[in-house]
């Protein structure tokens, strides 16, 4: 168990961060790699924390996007109903 802890507490090099950021920029590969690093158990502690934080940001962004889509859709439907009731041609 001591070797496992020491291996995960090592410093992540600049080259490793470069590869990490390159992989996370790819659409589906990045998401899968974030899941592997966050929950796989083999990643270094700083990379695991980065992956978890990135997934949290993705979740927050998705929720905000869905809420925005719903609000804009409802607003659009309400505007179309208002325009059809008043005889306007918008």
Q: What's the mean per-residue pLDDT of the chain? A: 88
**Is residue 33 a contact partner of residue 23, using CB atoms and an 8 Å limit?**
yes
**Is residue 50 a contact partner of residue 16, using CB atoms and an 8 Å limit?**
no
Q: Is the pTM of this model over 0.85?
A: no
Q: Where are the domains of the chain?
A: 2-86
3-state secondary structure 29-54: HHHHHHHHHHHCCCCCHHHHHHHHHH
pLDDT digits (tens, 9 = 90+) for 2-44: 555 566 778 889 999 999 999 999 999 999 999 999 999 888 9
């Amino acid at each position: 168990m001591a070797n496992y802890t020491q291996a995960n507490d090592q410093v992540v090099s600049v080259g490793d961060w470069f590869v990490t950021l390159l992989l996370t920029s790819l659409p589906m590969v990045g998401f899968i790699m974030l899941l592997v690093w966050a929950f796989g158990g083999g990643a270094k502690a700083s990379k695991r924390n980065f992956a978890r934080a990135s997934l949290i940001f993705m979740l927050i962004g998705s929720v905000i996007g869905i809420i925005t889509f719903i609000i804009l859709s409802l607003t659009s439907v309400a505007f179309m109903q208002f325009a059809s009731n008043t005889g306007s041609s918008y």
